[in-house]
């Protein structure tokens, strides 16, 4: 049957349209991402390790998680700057080597202070991989293929996380130290793959004697923060990211309080990863040629009111499952679309910084979201929490409506046109508009 599917001309055409036309270097980066997430055991099981294996309190585990998030927030900006200054590949390789070493060390740490400090370093190094990875994709892949490339990369992340979560539970039975060591080893393998197979993609320096200021406009972090259209996108993403954070925190608490068993919770929340693996590619193909602004509006409404549906679930695991299905569709629509937009907004010589600031919105959400959601759940109850999630999704959707009107909102996903959102910043002298086709590094460089 598998042979018949492969031989089917229509299936072969669909596969070619989905994965074809992307640079070889992108696929090495994709493999590295998949391997890295397949071994990403520690982040997923850190709280469980601290409370069950080491016997620390839940409040201490929360403190460690916050320090991990603080490290991630610092890394988002620092790695973005380094990716532009010293290059994408050295920043990514250094971050992966740092993650491998700090993860292995964390497995041997004892004492609350030592564990907290090393967890901060793990968060710092782990999140430092995001800005250079996103910048490499933007450098390698033409504008018309970026949403597809980011979708494929996001697909690899979710395949890896889904499988690692399932396998980690079995490995942990034989000792949590094995999880730390395997996580470190897989990250080390990724660093080697990047070093050998992925070339430096940072735009070339100005030729000797050339007008350096004309060839390479100075782009600092202040330039990024003053880019109003881009920061509007970051702010809207932060609002939506705060909603998504409830999926791994307050949703579990509410389901447990409603009488949902841990087995049922695992099956319900597992739908998120399963649906992303199954639907990411088909939905990405459906998104091609459609209005980016329209997709972002729809994604915000699906995400916000997907969580909002949890207010009606009561003690029904089926209704909670329906809620997960709806907000997962929003996640699938939002992630690659927003990442493609950020890549196009970023000027060529500032992609690392722009991706770093965008990554900062997710880090801040992981730091603030669980605390804000937990406080709202305790003080006002689940109904209010899920209603607020719906309202946040609606506010983000209205924000994209306003942003789309300001910039014309006519850009389409999967075309070779560069979004017009960058134009106001360029006209104001804040940053140059991105080029239509970014420079590509020669193979094997």
| Residue position matching structure tokens 């789309």 | 404
- The model's pTM is 0.74
Whether residue 414 sits in one domain with residue 268: yes
Give the residue from 201, 230, 262 where a domain finishes: 201
In a domain, 51, yes or no: yes
Whether residue 227 sits in one domain with residue 192: no
Residue pair 122/106 in contact (Cβ under 8 Å)? The answer is yes
Number of other residues whose CB lies within 10 A of the CB of residue 218: 10
Give the residue from 201, 234, 267 where a domain finishes: 201
Q: 98 is written with which tokens?
A: 């740092």
Whether residue 163 sits in one domain with residue 131: yes
Domain that residue 387 falls in: 221-434
In a domain, 138, yes or no: yes
Whether residue 175 sits in one domain with residue 236: no
**77-118 per-position pLDDT tens digit:** 899 999 999 999 999 999 999 999 999 999 999 899 999 999
What average pLDDT does the structure give for the chain? 81
Q: Of 113-127, 252-266, 283-297, where does mean pLDDT reach its minimum?
A: 252-266
Residue 197, pLDDT score: 92
The answer to whether the Cα torsion of 195, 196, 201, 202 is positive or negative is positive
**From the CA atom positions of the chain, what is the Rg in Å?**
22
**pLDDT exceeds cutoff 70 at 10:** no
Query: ∠ at Cα 69 (67, 73), nearest 5°?
Result: 115
Whether residue 351 sits in one domain with residue 261: yes
Give the residue from 173, 201, 229 where a domain finishes: 201
382: Cβ–Cβ under 8 A, 6 or more apart, which residues?
250, 254, 257, 310, 311
Whether residue 347 sits in one domain with residue 284: yes
Give helix 250-257 / helix 317-345 axis angle, nearest 10°: 170
Residue pair 187/100 in contact (Cβ under 8 Å)? The answer is yes
Residue pair 332/283 in contact (Cβ under 8 Å)? The answer is yes
Extended strands (E) in 120-215 = none
Residue 422, pLDDT score: 38
Higher pLDDT, residue 426 or 292: 292
- At residue 207 the predicted structure's pLDDT band, cuts being 50, 70 and 90, is very low
Whether residue 225 sits in one domain with residue 197: no
Whether residue 376 sits in one domain with residue 232: yes
**318-339 per-position pLDDT tens digit:** 999 999 999 999 999 998 899 8
Whether residue 257 sits in one domain with residue 189: no
Residue 303, pLDDT score: 96
In a domain, 7, yes or no: no
| Residue position matching structure tokens 């193979």 | 443
**pLDDT exceeds cutoff 60 at 205:** no
What are the angstrom distances between the C-alpha of 36 and each of 76, 192, 280? 18, 12, 20
In a domain, 171, yes or no: yes
Residue 412, pLDDT score: 62
HEC string of 318-367 equals HHHHHHHHHHHHHHHHHHHHHHHHHHHHCCHHHHHHHHHHHHHHHHHHHH
| Residue position matching structure tokens 């070779």 | 416
Residue 421, pLDDT score: 38
In a domain, 214, yes or no: no
DSSP element (H, E) containing 283: helix 262-287
Higher pLDDT, residue 406 or 435: 406
In a domain, 140, yes or no: yes
Residue pair 310/251 in contact (Cβ under 8 Å)? The answer is yes
Residue 203, pLDDT score: 80
Residue 186, pLDDT score: 93
Whether residue 333 sits in one domain with residue 184: no
What's phi and psi for 227, nearest 5 deg? -80, 95
Whether residue 251 sits in one domain with residue 148: no
In a domain, 317, yes or no: yes
Q: 181 is written with which tokens?
A: 């060591």
Residue 4's Cβ-side half-sphere holds a number of Cα atoms within 13 Å equal to 1
What's the domain count of the chain? 2
Whether residue 252 sits in one domain with residue 344: yes
In a domain, 43, yes or no: yes
Residue 1, pLDDT score: 45
What is the CATH number for 111? 1.20.1250.20
| Residue position matching structure tokens 């973005």 | 80
């Amino acid at each position: 049957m598998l042979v018949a599917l492969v031989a089917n001309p229509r299936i072969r055409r669909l596969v070619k349209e989905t994965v074809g036309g992307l640079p070889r270097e992108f696929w090495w980066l994709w493999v590295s991402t998949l391997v890295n997430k397949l071994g990403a055991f520690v982040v997923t099981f850190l709280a469980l390790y601290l409370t069950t294996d080491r016997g620390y309190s839940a409040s201490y585990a929360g403190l460690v998680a916050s320090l991990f998030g603080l490290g991630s927030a610092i890394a988002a900006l620092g790695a973005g700057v380094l990716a532009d200054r010293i290059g994408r590949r050295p920043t990514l390789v250094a971050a992966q080597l740092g993650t491998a070493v700090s993860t292995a060390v964390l497995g041997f740490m004892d004492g609350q202070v030592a564990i907290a400090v090393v967890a901060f370093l793990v968060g710092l190094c782990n999140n430092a991989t995001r800005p250079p990875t996103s910048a490499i994709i933007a450098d390698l892949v033409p504008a018309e293929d970026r949403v597809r490339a980011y979708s494929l990369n996001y697909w690899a992340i979710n395949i890896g996380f889904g499988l690692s979560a399932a396998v980690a539970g079995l490995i942990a039975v034989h000792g949590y130290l094995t999880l730390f060591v395997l996580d470190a080893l897989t990250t080390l393998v990724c660093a080697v793959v990047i070093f050998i197979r992925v070339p430096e993609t940072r735009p070339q320096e100005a030729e000797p004697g050339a007008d350096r200021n004309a060839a390479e406009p100075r782009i600092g972090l202040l330039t990024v923060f003053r880019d109003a259209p881009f920061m509007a996108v970051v702010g809207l993403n932060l609002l939506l990211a705060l909603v998504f954070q409830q999926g791994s925190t307050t949703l579990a608490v509410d389901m447990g309080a409603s009488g949902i068993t841990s087995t049922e919770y695992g099956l319900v929340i597992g739908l998120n990863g399963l649906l992303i693996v199954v639907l990411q590619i088909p939905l990405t193909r459906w998104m091609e040629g459609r209005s980016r602004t329209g997709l972002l509006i729809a994604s915000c409404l699906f995400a916000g009111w997907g969580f909002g549906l949890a207010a009606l679930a009561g003690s029904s695991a089926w209704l909670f499952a329906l809620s997960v299905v709806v907000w997962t569709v929003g996640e699938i629509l939002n992630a690659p679309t927003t990442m493609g937009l950020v890549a196009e907004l970023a000027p060529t010589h500032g992609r690392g910084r722009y991706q770093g600031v965008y990554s900062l919105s997710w880090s801040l959400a992981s730091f603030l979201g669980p605390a804000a959601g937990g406080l709202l759940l305790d003080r006002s109850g689940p109904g209010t929490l899920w209603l607020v999630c719906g309202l946040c999704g609606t506010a983000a959707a209205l924000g994209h409506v306003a942003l789309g009107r300001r910039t014309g909102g006519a850009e389409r996903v999967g075309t070779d046109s560069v979004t017009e959102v960058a134009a106001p910043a360029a006209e104001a002298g804040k940053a140059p508009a991105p080029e239509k086709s970014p420079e590509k590094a020669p193979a094997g460089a």
